[in-house]
Amino acid sequence: MKCTIAVIPGDGIGPEVTTQAKKALDAVAEVYNHIFLYKEAQMGACAIEKFGNPLPAETIETCKNADAILFGAIGDLKYDNDPSLKIRPEQGLLRLRQELDLFCNVIPIKAYPKLIKNSPLKKDIISGTDIAIYRELSSGIYFGKKETSKDGLSAFDICSYSVEEISRVAHLAFKEARNRKKKITLVDKANVLETSRLWRKTVLKIAEEYKDIDLDIMFVDNAAMQLVLNPKQFDVILAENLFGDIITDVACVVGGSIGILASSSVGEKNALFEPIHGAFSKAKGKDIANPLASILSAALLLEHLGLTDEADAIQRAVEKSLDLGITTQDLKGKNQFAASTAKVGDFIADYIANQEDSNLNFTNIYMGQSTII
């Protein structure tokens, strides 16, 4: 297969981790005989610096014309420390979601056996957890009218949803539940919010078309608590934009580390793949960031292109790196030797390309003793 992948490295550790994801994709291209053409595009703080715009028109064009988009991260301490700045990196991502109508964000959360000890939650609570969060991504309070009064003493953000906007993401979630444990939990706040009441009414109606799927409904405050008390009760979770944003980060604790979680954001025509973690500006350029979330984003991208064997090859390589402990500092104990961002990327690419090699050889690479790379 020949395809074009728009790559948006972005800010902070974004460029470092996407470089590792590209290494994995290059290894896949070599083994499975594909051609991946990368088209780099700018978005975020780096684009503000260069073009005065967090999302230049050229980036939108590049993304629209690509078969898939691989995105790193955006954000910079300069903006984080000053929320009053009018032009902000996040606006780039939010506008891209809207321009491409990326209405469905999917976040798979799995407790990897090797990472369970990294989670602050108890082993028997999280082991075996396997959740897919379906978050509506292009509407709701994020994109409603917002304003601060002239005197600066009041402000509002409007949250609105249409039946159409709810239905399209709900159908995707119900379809996914069919491939899984056949359970959906709708997360809302229908005891208080009108939009949540519309979500509930719409989803209950759609559920009639999916009689084989078990629909559960949970208020968002309770869902946040249940995710830490008993995450295994969930299969597919469906939520509106802001609730989805919040419970996703809560659910990350279950996976052991935010450094390994990837997500996809899909629309009718385009799809973007990115790590859950942000720009982690303090680690920028230090070669210590965990590249696994970005590498797993590349796996989701391949799956989206229908290349499931190839996606599995990346997934297996990531699991191998966890098994062998070829991981960055965030997944290690205090005095344990950690691999650098680039070394983890090299290992993953090497494992994809030479799966028949012995573990010993990989361990040597990890220890910096390899002659292969």
SS3 152: coil
State which residue, 274 or 310, has the beta carbon closest to Mn ion.
274
Q: How far is the CB of 148 from Mn ion (least distance, A)?
A: 23
Shortest CB 96 distance to ligand IPM, Å = 11
Q: Which does 93 bind (CB under 5 to 8 A by kind): Mn ion, ligand IPM, none?
A: ligand IPM
Query: C-beta of 46: minimal distance to ligand IPM in Å?
Result: 15
Active-site hit among 22, 23, 189, 284: 189
- Based on the residue annotation, tell me whether 249 is a catalytic residue of this protein: yes
Number of C-beta neighbours around residue 353 at 10 A:
18
Q: Which does 90 bind (CB under 5 to 8 A by kind): Mn ion, ligand IPM, none?
A: ligand IPM
- Which of 299, 322, 283, 296 is CA-nearest to residue 118? 322
User: CA–CA separation, 53 vs 215, rounded Å?
Assistant: 43
Rounded to the nearest whole angstrom, what is the least distance from the CB of residue 143 to ligand IPM in the complex? 11
Catalytic residue among 157, 249, 309, 312: 249
**Binding stretches for ligand IPM (CB under 6 A):** 90, 93-94, 245
Nearer CB in complex with ligand IPM: 273/362:
273
Of 183 and 304, CB closest to ligand IPM = 304
Choose from ligand IPM, Mn ion, none: what does 67 bind? Cβ within 5-8 Å by kind: none
The nearest distance, CB 325 to ligand IPM, in angstroms, is 29
Q: Closest CB to Mn ion among 245 and 287?
A: 245
Q: Residue 323 CB, nearest distance to ligand IPM (Å)?
A: 29
The partner in contact with residue 17, picked from Mn ion, ligand IPM, none with C-beta cut-offs of 5 to 8 angstroms by kind, is none
Site residues for Mn ion, 219-278, by CB under 5 A, read 245
Radius of gyration of the chain (CA): 21
Name the catalytic one among 64, 123, 221, 312: 221
Question: Does the protein bind Mn ion through residue 90 (CB under 5 A)?
Answer: no
**Cα 195 to Cα 186: distance, rounded to the nearest angstrom:** 13
Angle at 66 between CA 63 and CA 72, to 5 degrees: 55
Tokens 């590498």 correspond to: 295
SS (H, E, C) 271-310: EEEEECCCCCHHHCCCCCCCCHHHHHHHHHHHHHCCCHHH
Q: Does 216 bind Mn ion (CB under 5 A)?
A: no
The reply to whether 189 belongs to the active site is yes
Query: Which one of Mn ion, ligand IPM, none interacts with residue 349, CB within 5 to 8 A by kind?
Result: none
Whole-number Å distance between alpha carbons of 242 and 262:
18
In terms of residues, how long is the chain?
373
In whole angstroms, give the CA distance from residue 45 to residue 91. 10
Cα gap 138→160, rounded to integer Å: 11
User: Other C-beta atoms within 10 Å of 263: how many?
Assistant: 23
- Enter the tokens of residue 264: 């996809």
Taking residue 1's Cβ as centre, other Cβ atoms within 10 Å add up to 14
**What residues line the site for Mn ion (CB under 5 A)?**
245
Catalytic residue list = 142, 189, 221, 245, 249
